[in-house]
Structures are given as structure tokens and as C-alpha cells.
Amino acid sequence: MNHRLSRAILCLLLSLGPSLVQAETFRIGAEDDWFPYTAFRNGEIQGMSVDIVRAAFAASNVDIELVPYPYSRCMDTAQRGEIMACFNTLPNKQIASQYLLPKYPLFNDDILLWANSKTAKPMTSLAALAKQSVAVTIGYEYGPEFDSMTSFKRVPVRRDLNGFLMLQRGRVDYAAAYRGTAEALFAERAELKGAFTPVATLTHARVFLSFTRKDPRAADLISHFDQGMQIIHTNGTYQRILDHWRHQSAAD
């Protein structure tokens, strides 16, 4: 092949860069048990952040395939570059160093410290957790103050439900969980309704889609994601998704 032809092909490929990204289907990991945000239920991945991720990429003409994983495995798989991204993530310094983060968060929610309603008392300082036990979901982040504390015992659980069941049975003193997922659990399981009371706010969380650093296509994909998020924020799609899931949660 002569140099002139090679140069022409190279220029063509460079000019098609964005469209090549859009022509591919990218695999993205979705947490499998964190309803109403993301869960694998009735044979499909569903939830508020699922709808947001799909809408953002659709708005930027990028095809994606969502794959369900337990959260810690999802993040590990993304870190190795076997999938392009994983959600839902609360970034900290370690996350920021291991993954690429977009401009736009998926959503905001409060992470709360829950106590058994029979013994619940407001906690004015997390220092009161000293020598207490707290159920935490494996791989989750709960904010810089809580995550850096060593004065209490963390009891790892596979999912939020397990932590609340341990709290109900007196096997831990507290459970850490997002407001939205906790309220969804209480609505679905009658035995949990009214059993728990939030006693402290651990952090006001901004939850993200985290992209791998191992795949050179990730930077372009983030650009398309942010472009799509800007579009759905502007045209009202983002707010409609939030309203839909809030209405559904209230109906439940």
C-alpha cells in the first residue's frame, strides 16, 4: 500500500472517531440489588439510575448493553477494563484514583444511620459510634467521615436488607443505608415498616457512573455520556425520570 493511500485511510479513520464510538455497543455494569435505583428483577435490569443511564446514552446516540453484577464485583470488573463502567458509586479519593468520573452525577440522596425505632435517639456526633456495631454493605462508600472512622465495628453484609434484618434482631446497633433504598425496602416488606428510625445523616451523596481507566475508549464515552446528560437535563427527560420513580415510590 503506498504512503498516500495509507495517509488517506488514516485521515478517514480519525475523522470518523466519534461515529466509530457511536457504532459500537458498550457493556456497562449495573448493580443488581439496589432498588429503586438499580436492580435485576423479573428478568430485567430496572430502576431510576438505569433509566437515567439509558436516556443519557440514547440522547448522544451511543449503544450500550447493561449487565447485572453485585456491586463489589461490578466495580472490580470495571477496574480491570472488562466492562466500560459501573454504577452506582459515591466517589472518594480511592475511587477517583482508580476510575474516571464524568461531570454529571446520576442523582443525589442522603445516606442515613438507622437505629431500631424502639431504642432510637438522635445522634449529634458520629463520635457516639465508638464501640458500637454498624451493618454496612460490602463495597459501598458512606462518605469521608464515616469511611475514615475506626472507633466502631463494621459488620459487612451482602445487601441492605440483610443489614436491616440484623438490626431488627439486635445483632448490630445500627445500619447504614441510603434513604431511597431503605424506604423502598420498608414499602415492600411489611415486617420492616416503622421498625427503623434515622438518627444521623452520614453524608449528602452525589452518585456517579464510574468509568474504567483501562480502556482508551473510556474518555470518549464519558464525553458522550456528559453530552447526553446535558441534553436530558435541558429537555426535561431527566426530571420526568425522577418524578416517575418518586411517584412510584409514593404509590408503593
- At 20, is the pLDDT very low, low, confident or very high (cuts 50, 70, 90)? very low
Contacting residues for 214 by C-beta, under 8 A, at least 6 apart: 79, 80, 81
Give me the pLDDT at residue 66, please: 98
Task: Tell me what pLDDT residue 246 has.
Answer: 85
What's the pLDDT at 114?
Answer: 98
- pTM: predicted TM-score of the whole model, two decimal places: 0.84
Sequence-distant (≥ 6) Cβ neighbours of residue 113 within 8 angstroms: 123, 126, 129, 134, 174, 175, 176, 198, 199, 200, 201, 202
- Sole residue written with cell 459501598: 140
SS (H, E, C) 127-161: HHHCCCEEEEECCCCCCHHHHHCCCCEEEEECCHH
When the pLDDT of each residue in the chain is averaged and rounded to a whole number, the result is 91
Has residue 1 got a pLDDT over 50?
no
Judge whether residue 226 has pLDDT over 70: yes
pLDDT band at 249 (very low <50, low <70, confident <90, very high): low
Domains of the chain: residue spans and CATH: 19-107+207-251 (3.40.190.10), 108-205 (3.40.190.10)
Please give the pLDDT value at position 3. Answer: 43
| pLDDT band (50, 70, 90) for residue 22 | low
How much is the average pLDDT of 62-73?
96
pLDDT (average), residues 228-241: 98
pLDDT at position 6 over 70: no
Please compute the mean of the pLDDT values over residues 156-173 and round it to a whole number.
97
pLDDT tens digit string along 119-141?
999 999 999 999 999 999 998 99
Q: Please, is 145 exposed, middle or buried when counting C-beta atoms within 10 Å of its C-beta (0-12, 13-18, 19+)?
A: exposed
pLDDT, mean of residues 72-98:
96
